[in-house]
Amino acid sequence: MTRAAEIAKIIGKGSVDIHGEAGTTSSGSTGLTTNLQQGLAKTWYLASNSASLTDSFNVSSGSDGGTGNYTYNYSNAFSNANYSVSGVCGEGSIFIMFNSSRATGSSNNKVGNTSGSVTDAQNTGQINGDLA
């Protein structure tokens, strides 16, 4: 649908259908899925200090590779490894988390304390980029 047709539809109808992540409106019509749009988080997770997922979106599993070493695997891969990873660690202390490597289907993150020692901690991440 062209932009002019979309505007005409809004003017004539007085409303517009908003498509959800499943690509279906409340009236049952289909459209683009929001997870394909640029600028939206494509993956997020909340995990325990052993990489056990508490909740997530587009993350199939987490693995604990040793003290402060976590890898998260994506349900849907990215088109390349040039995506942005951001995250934080919890549990009431000051921790530092950094992304140590990225692949199209997973990322590896390390957690340390302010003394520079690796440590286990609850962690959460959000990834923005282009899905394959």
Return d(Cα 132, Cα 129) in angstroms, integer: 10
Shared domain check, 100 and 73? yes
Quick one: average pLDDT of 118-130? 91
Asked if pLDDT for residue 31 goes beyond 90, the answer is no
Shared domain check, 61 and 17? no
Burial of 81 (0-12, 13-18, 19+ CB in 10 A): middle
Return d(Cα 31, Cα 14) in angstroms, integer: 19
Tell me, what's the pLDDT at 37?
58
pLDDT, tens digit, 9 for 90 and up, residues 36-67: 556 678 999 999 999 999 999 999 999 999 99
Looking at the structure of the chain, the number of domains it has is 2
Hey, what are 44's tokens? 């997020």
Closest C-alpha to 58, from 73, 72, 75: 75
Shared domain check, 62 and 10? no
Shared domain check, 11 and 71? no
pLDDT, tens digit, 9 for 90 and up, residues 81-93: 999 998 888 767 7
pTM value > 0.85: no
Return d(Cα 87, Cα 19) in angstroms, integer: 28
Shared domain check, 64 and 116? yes
In this structure, what CATH number is given to the domain that contains residue 69? 2.60.40
